Structure 1
Amino acid sequence: MAPLLDVQNLSTSIKLTSSTVHAVDNVSLRVGKGETLGIVGESGCGKSVTGLSIMGLLPPGGAVTGGSIKLNGRELVGLQKEEVRRIRGNQIAMIFQDPLTSLDPTKTIGYQVAEPVRLHRNVSRKAALDRAVEVLGLAGVPQPRERLDNYPHQLSGGLRQRVMIAMALACEPELLIADEPTTALDVTIQAQILALLRDLKERLGMAILLITHDMGVVAGHTDRVCVMYAGQVVETSGVVPLFRETRHPYTRALLASIPRFRQGRENALPAIPGLPPDLSRPPRGCRFAARCFRATEKCRAEEPPLTGPTSAHRYSCWHPLNEPRTLAVSGVDVSGTTGTDLVAPDARSPRTADGIRTSATEHKPETATANGDREGPLLDLRNLVKEYPVGSNAVLRRNAARVKAVSDVSFSMPAGTTFGLVGESGCGKTTIGKMIVALERPDSGSVTFGGVDVAKLRRAELRRERRDLQLVFQDSHSSLDPRMRIGSIIAEPLHAQHWGSRQARRERVFELLAEVGLPKNTVERYPHEFSGGQRQRIGLARALSLNPRLIVLDEPVSALDVSIRAQMLNLMTRLQASHGLTYLVVSHDLTVVRHLADRIGVMYLGKLVEIGSGSDIYERPAHPYTAGLIAAIPLPSPAAEHAKKEPAITGELPSPVHPPSGCRFRTRCRFAQERCAVEEPEPRSFGPGHLAACHFPLRTATPPETTADFAG
């Protein structure tokens, strides 16, 4: 049966001012009708450029330099622009990675969803808007007709992604290209979007090309997989054989880099050393050779062909993995590895995966007492409340509606430990982090650090206290001044605190760069010259410059590939051990928090709903919301993903301006009863240091203990 999409030997280059990037090199793939093909790999491997080449949407300087792209047997390469426009949005549609920047902020949702219908179907404005309402409803947007007059900024991230899906479906395309459709979403919304795409594919019979770097998404939502590295396909097969009989070392390394629930803090994550090659000067031979410990001289001299025992499973490697091992993922045995065969012998334990030697006991957390304290908390938060006025009266703060960002939150942190705050976007995690470092002041409550309430300090006193309090921002790109060199960025806190002489500050910068694994010549370069992982290392170096006691890490690895993420998590663990740091980690990625944190707090709509150790939260959750977050995490196991029937948590997060009465989670909880609407649940004990606020918990409560570390 002829494929719907047939790409053969595709090569795409992007011409820059002084060089040409060979972004896609000799890529071949096929997508059948009603099939989902996943393309997976690190950033810069050519996944998105492949999709843009198919769509005819390459950036300035980009061009298809070789190969063929056929849709239903029709050649797309070389078509006139007008012909491509007739196909794009009609027969082929695309969901872009970032819906906020992809949607026009000056036009309404109705106009943007109806636009492709008017262009391709030549219908009236009313008929196009009626179709917009229909596809918005199909995409799961509540009250779709009421949304027609909304603008993109008025919608949540999940709703904006649904609008993008509705735009793509408006003309019933045969092929849908989804480019990282859930990368910026919480796990709960991600699960809903992926379930929606699967349902739409079955109902409409369309094919999907799913571009992602998440192996869990690939496991649960694709039929076949192409693994790309440095612009080339290195392995391709059905999804089950790929996980069961992995042959290419790069594919195996991607799988092993994923943090697992049962992998404790004492074990460093296997990470792929180094970075992908510069595609303006592709290396000879196998492009993965420089990062592969199995590489030989033949690998560096000759490029391996894409071949295999059958046409259904092919790989390009001179030394393929012939003995697949078993890897336990959340109780499910899937093909993979323990990770010890993925990095060079000198990068294994007792070295971390980024190659820096540590002691055998360095990563082991101390044993906490029942309330999490050892010798008294370094940080103590009591009854924190923070609200923001919104609306037309917000400036004068008179009769303004108020966003209830944080509502009566309390917990403490002993020195040298890591506390993880998890929850969906908008639950108040980042606001708490900002109050800890005094970038925001609470409306009421206290933030006591080392016995001092930082919320009450004057500016001069606060500047001195900030030597011990640092923040690593979520967006490493926008948080670094693009006009400053890296050396000046790292040294800026030293200047502000009048630390040392000019020579001493310069030596301190070099010392910090060495600690985070960056070369000395980094000081002369600018932020845009670095990858996301390197910029995050720079942010860490800056935060460490004054030897702080506590660092708030706001989504420190959310924008990174799985392999670079593993390097960063290992680095953060090593730095904590060597400097005696205390971390507050803010994240919506529960696997990351499980790997880093001693204790974890789960937040929902400004409230702390559960708190406990990592084993309490992940193995014995008491609150339905916690259990739903865990169930929504994509697992790198086709069997485990296909066993999931429906998203564990459905619906949108309620408005923080008008949160639900009683239990704030009740509108999305399948256990909710009338009591939940009228009575706010009090925290109850479910074991030493394990507390949850729920009228109908998933576990039996234990005899009462102090709840001071939960709700004051």
Structure 2
Amino acid sequence: MPRALEITDLSTHIALRRSVVQAVGDVSLHIDAGETLGLVGESGCGKSMTGLSILGLLPPGGSIVSGSIKLDGRELVGLSASELRSVRGNDVATVFQDSMTSLNPTRTIGYQVAEPVRRHLGASRREARARAIEVLGLVGLPRPSERLDDYPHQLSGGLRQRVLIAMALACEPKVLIADEPTTALDVTIQAQILDLLDDLKARLGMAVLLITHDMGVVAGHADRVNVMYAGRMVEATGTEQLFASMHHPYTQGLLASIPQLDQDGTQPLHTIPGIPPDLAYPPQGCRFSERCPRATDHCRAVEPPLLQIERTPEHAVASDAALEHLVACWHPVDGPVKRQEADPVVLAHHVHVLAAEQRDDAKVRLLDVHGLVKEYPVTSGAVLRRRSGSVKAVSDVSFSVNRGETFGLVGESGCGKSTIGRMVVALEHPDRGVVTLSGDDLTTMSGSRLRGRRRDLQLMFQDPHASLDPRMRVGAILREPLTIQGIGNRKEQDERVRELLGEVGLPQSSVERYPHEFSGGQRQRIGLARALALNPQLIVADEPVSALDVSIRSQVLNLMKRLQAAHDLSYVVISHDLAVVKYLADRVGVMYLGQLVEVGPSEEVYARPAHHYTAGLIDTVPIPDPQVQKRRNRVGIRGELPSPVNPPSGCRFRTRCPAAQDVCAQVAPPMVRYGEGHWAACHFPLQRPLDAEVAPDGRTVATGSATSTQ
């Protein structure tokens, strides 16, 4: 019986004007029906190009120069464009990363889901519409018959991704290529989509190629894993075998670079030095040799073949006993890397912060946020633009940050995290509430006084490419805040620029280069250097590493930790990645639909969450360990985030809460204390509060003043 997909010695090149990018080189893999193969690696390693080669959707200049791609025994290489069109969307389908750009904004979702059915199966308009309703229901779209005439912009990100999956499944393909299908989604929606793919694979018997850089996703959803680096396959085996006993140094480095929920914040994350090679001019020998601590002259001269490695009995995994374990390495490693020792500088800072927390007199309050409210008007009418409602972005949020402390804000997209960040750095003005920095009320300042105070507040943006002016050299970008604030003469400014580059680990020659000449991780270092230029007291880091590969992410996180310790910085870290926030933050605030629902010390909140939303967020974090993933009794958070224009009455989380009762719709729960500095707002909490009583209906009732989260 032929395999669902079999690729043999595939090489794909992309011809540029002056060079040829060797995007995929001699790659072989296979997937059986009903199996999920995880394809992992950093950006640019060839994962997506492998998927596009299967689909025949290569970019201009791209071509398959050698190798074979067989789909259910049929050779795809060499087929004409019309023959490939008959295969694509019918026998093999794909789910891309960005649902907004993948869907046609001018067509209804019903038309787009029905289109492949009409084209490939010759169905009538009525039959195709009925099939569209069927598959939209299959992927869990609420009220599918009512949503057929909706356009993509009318759906949330999670629902749009379900529409993409429905389009891919409309003709019941033999192979589904899921190319980073959840990277752009919140962790809660990601869990729903991945569980949906697992369920559909089992019900329809599909083969799934899961392309991702998230090792936690692979651990929980792949049967086997292939690891790619610089266009080459470097390791391939069963999922449990790979995580228990990887043998390629690159695989080891990828896994060790991931911050986990049990990560010690005083220990530096493992990093892979350097960046992947330019595939237009690939190095001789092993392509990982320049970044590998075990590399020798032989590694740099001769490329290792992908061969079966002998399995040691102590590392063999029973469920993977029959699987091959292929590795391309002259000096293989033996299993996961050991945890690193604590960074002395970070450890000293950590001890200092803990001591300050334990002694109230040692705390120095830097930032106070009290009663913040921010709403954006919703208008209707093309001419008169009457106000018909408002987006309730932030609703009565209060918290504080001490000097030298990191405060993390977590929650789903649209919960108000970034809006709070912009108000903290005075880029937006609250409708109500106060933001004070060292006792100075920023909300009442304006003009030169606010401009002078802004040097103590800096913002680190999510996208390091979009946040840097592409027309300015790096030297000018770093000098600009010094010039605006009138700090120093040109010579002193140049010296400060060189000092900043050294602090973030970039060469002095960077001053003459433009942002596009740097990698994503290097651009984020430039963004951090710009934030440090004025010696600020507080940096608001809005999703500072979400756009980076896992290996580069660990470098930036380590850098943020060391700079905080060296300069006694305070951070407000905004992220939907709970593991990143757990690693960086001393205290954490959990936001839902514009409100702070839980706040407290990170260790306490993660170990003993009181709010059901917090517990659901933690429960959906992908953990890069197949054994842990199997043992987890994951409940997660179901449903979509309600509209902030018309949020639910009472407790805003009640429409998705497993413990909700009638009182939750009628009364908004107050903040109640669960430990030292640990507060949460829930009528039926997961932990027993300290200063509250239990009412006859079982809900928590505050007995004292429980409105402060300081």
TM-score of the aligned structures, taking structure 2 as reference length: 0.94
Matched to 1:213, the amino acid is H
- What is the correspondence of 1:626-645 to structure 2 with a 5 Å cutoff? 626-645=614-633
Pick from 534, 539, 546: which aligns with 1:558? 546
How much has 1:146 moved relative to structure 2? 2.2
Deviations 1:642-679 (A, max 9, x none): 23455411100111111111111111111111111111
- Larger displacement relative to structure 2 (490-499 or 554-563): 490-499
Contact 2:619 2:634 in 1 (8 A): no
Matched to 1:463, the amino acid is R
Provide the residue aligned with 1:242 in structure 2. Answer: 242
SS of equivalent to 2:51: helix
Contact 1:373 1:414 in 2 (8 A): no
Provide the residue aligned with 1:262 in structure 2. Answer: 262
Matched to 1:543, the amino acid is A
How much has 1:160 moved relative to structure 2? 1.2
Shift of the 407–349 alpha-carbon distance from structure 1 to 2, 3 Å rule, reads closer
Provide the residue aligned with 1:318 in structure 2. Answer: 330
How much has 1:365 moved relative to structure 2? 5.0
Name the CA distance, whole Å, in 2 between partners of 1:306 and 1:373.
61
Contact 2:375 2:393 in 1 (8 A): yes
Pick from 673, 685, 701: which aligns with 1:697? 685
Provide the residue aligned with 1:591 in structure 2. Answer: 579
Matched to 2:333, the amino acid is L
Provide the residue aligned with 1:578 in structure 2. Answer: 566
Name the CA distance, whole Å, in 2 between partners of 1:474 and 1:394.
33
Name the CA distance, whole Å, in 2 between partners of 1:593 and 1:373.
27
Pick from 431, 441, 459: which aligns with 1:471? 459
Contact 1:393 1:399 in 2 (8 A): no
Does residue 202 of structure 1 match 2:202?
yes
Pick from 368, 381, 392: which aligns with 1:404? 392
Provide the residue aligned with 1:332 in structure 2. Answer: none
Name the CA distance, whole Å, in 1 between partners of 2:513 and 2:103.
33
Shift of the 666–516 alpha-carbon distance from structure 1 to 2, 3 Å rule, reads same
Contact 1:3 1:33 in 2 (8 A): yes
Provide the residue aligned with 1:171 in structure 2. Answer: 171
How much has 1:130 moved relative to structure 2? 2.0
Provide the residue aligned with 1:344 in structure 2. Answer: none
- Larger displacement relative to structure 2 (361-370 or 396-405): 361-370
Provide the residue aligned with 2:674 in structure 1. Answer: 686
How much has 1:262 moved relative to structure 2? 2.1
Provide the residue aligned with 1:673 in structure 2. Answer: 661
- What is the correspondence of 1:539-558 to structure 2 with a 5 Å cutoff? 539-558=527-546
Provide the residue aligned with 2:320 in structure 1. Answer: none
Does residue 531 of structure 1 match 2:519?
yes
Does residue 600 of structure 1 match 2:588?
yes
SS of equivalent to 2:639: coil
Provide the residue aligned with 1:282 in structure 2. Answer: 282
- Larger displacement relative to structure 2 (395-404 or 509-518): 395-404
Provide the residue aligned with 2:128 in structure 1. Answer: 128
How much has 1:533 moved relative to structure 2? 1.2
- Larger displacement relative to structure 2 (276-285 or 426-435): 276-285
Does residue 616 of structure 1 match 2:604?
yes
Contact 1:433 1:552 in 2 (8 A): yes
Provide the residue aligned with 2:107 in structure 1. Answer: 107
Deviations 1:485-530 (A, max 9, x none): 2222222212221222222222222221121111122222222222
Name the CA distance, whole Å, in 2 between partners of 1:286 and 1:349.
32
Structure 1 unmatched runs, 5+: 325-335, 341-347, 352-357
- What is the correspondence of 1:67-466 to structure 2 with a 5 Å cutoff? 67-309=67-309, 312-322=324-334, 324=335, 336-340=336-340, 350=343, 358=345, 361-367=348-354, 368-369=356-357, 374-392=362-380, 398-466=386-454
SS of equivalent to 2:273: coil
How much has 1:293 moved relative to structure 2? 1.1
How much has 1:706 moved relative to structure 2? 6.2
Matched to 2:638, the amino acid is T
How much has 1:339 moved relative to structure 2? 4.0
Matched to 1:697, the amino acid is P
Deviations 1:307-355 (A, max 9, x none): 1247711101111123x3xxxxxxxxxxx33244xxxxxxx7658xxxx
Name the CA distance, whole Å, in 1 between partners of 2:30 and 2:519.
31
SS of equivalent to 1:636: coil
Name the CA distance, whole Å, in 1 between partners of 2:361 and 2:161.
42
Matched to 1:318, the amino acid is W
Shift of the 406–393 alpha-carbon distance from structure 1 to 2, 3 Å rule, reads farther
Name the CA distance, whole Å, in 1 between partners of 2:61 and 2:146.
41
Matched to 2:422, the amino acid is K
Paired residues, what number? 686
Name the CA distance, whole Å, in 2 between partners of 1:647 and 1:138.
20
Name the CA distance, whole Å, in 1 between partners of 2:684 and 2:425.
36
Provide the residue aligned with 2:696 in structure 1. Answer: none
How much has 1:460 moved relative to structure 2? 2.4
Contact 1:624 1:669 in 2 (8 A): yes
Contact 1:249 1:320 in 2 (8 A): yes
SS of equivalent to 2:675: coil
- Larger displacement relative to structure 2 (546-555 or 131-140): 131-140
- Larger displacement relative to structure 2 (428-437 or 265-274): 265-274
SS of equivalent to 2:353: coil
Shift of the 174–372 alpha-carbon distance from structure 1 to 2, 3 Å rule, reads farther
Contact 1:494 1:546 in 2 (8 A): yes
Name the CA distance, whole Å, in 2 between partners of 1:162 and 1:144.
11
How much has 1:360 moved relative to structure 2? 5.5
Name the CA distance, whole Å, in 1 between partners of 2:23 and 2:505.
27
- Larger displacement relative to structure 2 (201-210 or 638-647): 638-647
Name the CA distance, whole Å, in 1 between partners of 2:94 and 2:674.
47
Name the CA distance, whole Å, in 2 between partners of 1:648 and 1:381.
30
Provide the residue aligned with 2:652 in structure 1. Answer: 664
Deviations 1:574-619 (A, max 9, x none): 1111111110000000000000001000000111000011111111
Structure 2 unmatched runs, 5+: 311-322, 693-703
Matched to 2:348, the amino acid is T
